[in-house]
């Protein structure tokens, strides 16, 4: 998808007064992005570990940011930091909702305890 100015304004509303806001919006609306919704036990924790620390120069090798990011201004990847943030962000990026399904291998991927 391509992030519009309107979507960027909603997504980054809490940063509008910060000095980096104009550059962030310009960066985020400059090219297509891939929006995905992940679900499962510990999905937020697991995804954030895969992403690595916010700034690529501080992220561990083997993480997405650690291997591919080096800017403190233009973040390579974003992930929700809480269930509340996820709910808000999913409604922005998937206004019609997300497909509700369970993979056939779910019982072998994680235990339901």
67-78 pLDDT, tens digit each: 999 888 788 899
In whole angstroms, what is the distance from residue 34 CA to residue 1 CA? 6
Total domains present in the chain: 2
Whether 50 and 2 map to the same domain: the answer is no
Which residues does the annotation mark as catalytic? 78
Query: Are 23 and 68 part of one and the same domain?
Result: no
4 has pLDDT over 90:
yes
- In Å, what is the CA distance from 60 to each residue of 64, 66, 67, 72, 73? 9, 5, 8, 15, 18
Query: Quick one: 27 and 55 in the same domain?
Result: no
Q: Taking the model in full, what pTM does it have?
A: 0.83
Mark whether 24 and 51 lie in a shared domain: no
Mean predicted lDDT score pLDDT of the chain: 92
Residue 109 within a domain: no
Count of residues making up the chain: 113
Say if 59 falls within a structural domain: yes
Structural domain contains residue 107: no
- State whether 91 and 45 are in the same domain: yes
Task: Identify any residues that bridge with 32 across adjacent strands, giving them in sequence order.
Answer: 2
Query: What does the pLDDT read at residue 75?
Result: 80
Q: Which pairs count as long-range contacts for 37-46, CB under 8 Å and 24+ apart, including other chains?
A: 37/90, 37/93, 37/94, 37/98, 40/109, 40/110, 41/110, 41/112, 44/79, 44/80, 44/81, 44/82, 44/83, 44/86
Any domain includes 111: no
Question: Residue 20 belongs to what domain range?
Answer: 1-33
């Amino acid at each position: 998808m391509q992030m519009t100015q309107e979507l960027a304004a909603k997504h980054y509303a809490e940063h509008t007064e910060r000095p980096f806001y104009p550059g962030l919006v310009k960066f985020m609306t400059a090219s297509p992005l891939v929006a995905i919704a992940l679900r499962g036990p510990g999905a937020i924790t697991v995804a954030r570990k895969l992403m690595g620390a916010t700034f690529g120069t501080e992220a561990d090798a083997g993480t997405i940011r650690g291997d591919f990011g080096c800017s403190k201004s233009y973040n390579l990847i974003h992930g929700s930091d809480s269930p509340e943030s996820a709910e808000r962000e999913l409604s922005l990026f998937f206004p019609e909702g997300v497909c509700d399904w369970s993979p056939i291998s779910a019982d072998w991927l994680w235990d339901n305890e």
